[in-house]
Amino acid sequence: MPPESLRCKECKTEYPLDARYACEHCFGPLEVAYSARSDPDPSELRRRIQAGPHSLWRYSDFLPVQMPREGVLPAGFTPLLRVDRLAERLGLGEVWIKNDAANPTHSFKDRVVSIALARARELGFETVACASTGNLANAVAAHAASAGLESYVFVPADTEEQKLLATGVYGTNLVIVDGSYDDVNRMCTELAEERQWAFVNINLRPYYSQGSKTLAFETVEQLGFELPDRVVCPIASGSLFTKIALGFEEWRELGLVHGELPTFNGAQAEGCSPVASAFAANQEVCRPVKPRTLAKSLAIGNPADGPYALDLARRTGGSIESVTDHEIRDGIKLLAETTGIFTEAAGGVTIAVLAKLAERGDIGPSERVVAYVTGEGLKTLDCARGTFEAWQIEPTVSSFERAAERLGALA
């Protein structure tokens, strides 16, 4: 499906495939529009996919760029794990975790940056940039270093130290801004108008967002070219949530997979939940909020794709839920204890919402559920503080046995 144009999601006005992100007529978001395939053969498409590299570039036929010849970090093709112990703990039948912490910089942002940087290089940009809550900064800095491009990353001042360290090490220009993510994003939008830089999530956003589709493609392929019954996914801007659905829909249209679109459940932190609040009130997302949550990677108070996330949840019979910071910590601990996967706060949000849905009885016993873990727990270590107790003993067996007896750890 070769890219044909950029098209406004609202009024359908078309534009050339350059660096732009908003419609000049209605200010709606632009998306990549593809030329239709002529009589596609699903069997041949499957063979092409399975013969491809073990990275997201195996799906080049469905992306707006081709893999660059050099300077590429191999993102994607992360594990999809059946987690029966977690399912049993929650009283569910079949649960899978798509663990995108296995990407090069340990979050799903490697996917979207891979596509954006490939397009930036095609368009001749020499400097790439982003507004980020942390994970995107990591990915832009690393992929720019691999490609030999100059980079600038702008982050809020309250970004976790682990994410700052994992960004600056790549030699990027790390700019810490006194303000929220929404403040950072507004400033970067202005800079994108003034400088000849490729802001991956602003003027290259139509290409960047296409990287999230590859999570859907991998899920289908790893399930034996079958669809899950339900998806649980975190929501920040709403782009990841909606693009996973787009990936499923594209492959359904091409005959690569059959069945109904899964039920989509979105997950937000209560301290920054404009989309979940709108869903609960049966309204549209209309009022930005000031984030107050430990899930900083989801702390976008004015989500660009919020209206589309709401529509997706409603038309698939799903929901958008929020959870407290305490529930987020419990979600991180539950996932770690039952699967051996240590996730960051955003993953804790997802697992906490999965647990809420299970407790409420919203998930049927025969449903196949896929939950998306989008980042690594080592990036938000503070979330693990206070969730366990360590033993401290003298270097003697008797000291160990006394402690074990006191704590009831030995039979």
User: Would 351 be classed as within a structural domain?
Assistant: yes
CA separation (Å) from 139 to 70, 194, 388? 17, 24, 31
User: Would 167 be classed as within a structural domain?
Assistant: no
Residue 410 predicted with pLDDT over 60? no
Average pLDDT over every residue of 89-103? 98
What CATH number did the domain enclosing 370 receive? Answer: 3.40.50.1100
Mean pLDDT is lowest, of 67-71, 171-175, 327-331, 373-377, for: 67-71
User: Would 330 be classed as within a structural domain?
Assistant: yes
pLDDT at 141: 98
In whole numbers, what is the pLDDT of the chain averaged over residues?
Answer: 95
User: Would 114 be classed as within a structural domain?
Assistant: no
Q: How many domains does the chain have?
A: 1
Task: Calculate Rg over the CA atoms of the chain.
Answer: 22
Confidence of residue 411 (pLDDT cuts 50, 70, 90): very low
User: Would 400 be classed as within a structural domain?
Assistant: no
Residue percentage of the chain with pLDDT more than 90: 91
Q: Which long-range contacts (CB under 8 A, 24 or more apart) does 281-284 make?
A: 284/310
Q: 79-90, pLDDT tens digit by residue?
A: 999 999 999 999
Residue 281: give the domain boundaries.
80-106+210-384
User: Would 192 be classed as within a structural domain?
Assistant: no
pLDDT at 39: 64
Q: 315-330, pLDDT tens digit by residue?
A: 999 999 999 999 999 9
User: Would 364 be classed as within a structural domain?
Assistant: yes
